[in-house]
Structure 1
Amino acid sequence: MYRKTRVLVTGGAGFLGSHLCERLLKEGYEVICLDNCFTGSKQNILHLHNDPNFEFLRHDITFPLYLEVDQIYNLACPASPIHYQFDPVQTTKTSVHGAINMLGLAKRVRAKIMQASTSEVYGDPEMHPQQESYWGNVNPIGMRSCYDEGKRCAETLFFDYKRQHNLRIKVARIFNTYGPRMHPNDGRVVSNFIVQALKNEPITVYGDGSQTRSFCYVDDLVEGFYRLMNVTDDAFSGPVNLGNPGEFTILQLANLVIEYTNSKSEIIYKPLPENDPRKRRPDITLAKEVLGWQPYTKLEQGLLKTITYFDKYLTQEEAAAQ
């Protein structure tokens, strides 16, 4: 009897996870969305609940889990500084204990498993753009270390499980991603700027705004996840950079957001946070060669879609408060 491929998405009610769940359902998979709703929101997946192939499970991956699945996308972890620094010990536990628990599950049921790693493993990079072969320049005891080093340790665990247990693993290093369903108060630069601009509040730029970032629209990133998990060469594990190689200064982004929102906001400057990377840009040569993947959404297109989402979100929030 034919059975649909059953996929577990941890962190599935979050920004990236909800878009991934949506994509997998469209592809005909049976999806188990797991989240403890610390930063994820049930609102992000409300529209999926009537799909017979969708199931939501409230669970914290720092505790073991027993399920029968064919694939696991491990996305669970607070990803913005405000959230991952709120409880840094729990952040490290989510990356490390969570990885151990999900790898243990994958080992028991022989599932293929993908780790959502991050460009933060490169730290404040001395190589530009960043290639997967670069080992990084990371402070192991700073305010950001709970996230940076937690993700680095998770990568170590994934490759040790591959070497020791012959597990089929995939590791994606995610660069700055944006789009609808971003948390409005998570402190990430795109959502911060858009919310401030729509409210005509001062736009906060840290440092002089000359630091650079590369912004990938969420649909492009999810396409990269899907291709990595289902790549023809199943022996390919990564790590592989997934991001948009277009590079912009933070000041450029601020001015674009002001322009696209017709905002009256002014730009104000505050001190740069500790260990904030000066440059961030992915080298995606490997993703192009092995996955046939590259992002197609221009920053202008993606920003306009994200602005439309936040405009609607803030309007509804204002109406609910009245």
Structure 2
Amino acid sequence: MPDGKENPYGNGFVGVETPLTNEGSACRVADASKGTYWKINNPDSRKPVAYKLVPQISPTLMAKPYSLIAKRGRFASKHLWVTPHQDRERYPAGNWVLQSKGGEGLEEWIKQDRSVESGSDPVLWHCFGLTHIVRPEDFPVMPVESTGFTLKPSGFFRGNPGIDVPYQKKKKKKKKKKSKASQLMQNRCGRMHKKLSEEQMAYKPSVSKKVAKLLLHTNGERRQTRCGTNSREEETKGDQKHVFLGGTISLWLSHPRTTQPSMKGEEEGFEERGYLQGMQLDQASF
């Protein structure tokens, strides 16, 4: 967009549409610096609707024009070709590629410079491919390389058609009936978990800084361990177990069901076993 009153700051730009009316003008190479795309529209509708072809811009055939592959594959020298429909014009490189000397196909057809406007039943040929530079990850088997193009509707709707899409409700999954064996096992496991929770896991926290204190009431026995100094005793009611943790400690809790090897305590050869080891806590909740 030129400088002037309409573009005082020099940051304006406009999209320019160029009609492609014949075969010669329809031979195109996409320009990434200008954001090239093509529209195939229907001028007979009240508001022309179109499909917008957005190429994934890649280099055209890089072989020399006099090479055999370039002679046989002239179609790869352009990104876009447009011809009127003809039954005999089926293959862009000609009918007999491996036996040809080159110069057949699209390059030969467009020399007629026929009209490709509405009514000529135009055929669009979009050529795209890969110019692949190998990398170490491609050996011994190349994993993947992507290419392609995008075809978008243009002018079919007044706005974004995805905005008013109705909400899709999730279907409720039917609960599967459990067999009697699984119900029996679940009930048994539930009772065992409840019993273990009551005996082993019903701890109420109480914190004493720089003190680790353990009061155990298991099967009517009371055992006590103190770590650190200035420890203070706490009352326990019923079969509840209180753990006082501060700093980094290593505790082995006594319980008749545990199978870990025993370890001698620091005070009076007290024997402790259990399932807590190496915890660093200021306030513990079990």
Same fold (TM over 0.5): no
* Higher relative contact order (CA closer than 8 Å, sequence separation 6+): 1
More helix by share: 1
Bigger radius of gyration: 2
